[in-house]
Amino acid sequence: MFGLDRNNVLDYFSCSPFYDRTCNNQVLKMQTQYNDLETELQHLKQMRGIEFVLIHHQEPALFIIQKQNRSSPTSTKPLDIYMVYEGTIYQCPNAHLLLSNRILSSLYHLNKSFHLLKEIHDDEKESDKTFLESNQYTACDPDALAKFLTQNP
């Protein structure tokens, strides 16, 4: 469809603004332009620093790329995750950002609901007060209230 596969998606990703030109991938790309890809991957695992790795793919539409900091041949720390979906590159939100936005949205709607309930409550208090004043019945006059209740069952 777009000509992307697991062998060329990192080259495609290297043209995006998310790509770090000082990463280990770029250094190896410049040093080993005419070597085999397997040799490049073996050397990449021996280097320390920022690198980009394809962690999942469903060809031809979906590729997941992880930006990570390699501190040893066996230890990496994920930094960011990017998605190439049908030829478009997206940066995926992290869990903290996603949860904080969901919580803020929930709190906004909850606050809005409380303000609406307060307005309704204030309107009902005002209408009750108007009703009692217009009919001249008060809670202090039990006889008048009893008369009102017997007239309006």
- Domain boundaries of the chain, sorted by first residue: 9-92, 97-151
| pTM of the full structure | 0.61
Nearest to 54 by CA among 93, 90, 2, 11: 11
Provide long-range contacts, Cβ within 8 A and 24+ apart, for 31-39: 37/7
Nearest to 6 by CA among 84, 116, 93, 119: 84
CATH architecture of the domain with residue range 9-92: Roll (3.10)
pLDDT recorded at residue 38: 56
**Which whole number is the average pLDDT over 127-134?**
57
Q: Residue 1 pLDDT more than 50? A: no
Which residue has better confidence, 123 or 47? 47
How many Å apart are CA 60 and CA 136, to the nearest integer?
A: 79
The mean pLDDT of the chain is: 81
**Which whole number is the average pLDDT over 58-83?**
92
pLDDT recorded at residue 119: 83
Alpha carbon dihedral 72, 39, 79, 87, in 10-degree steps, equals -170
pLDDT recorded at residue 29: 83
Nearest to 25 by CA among 61, 69, 63: 69
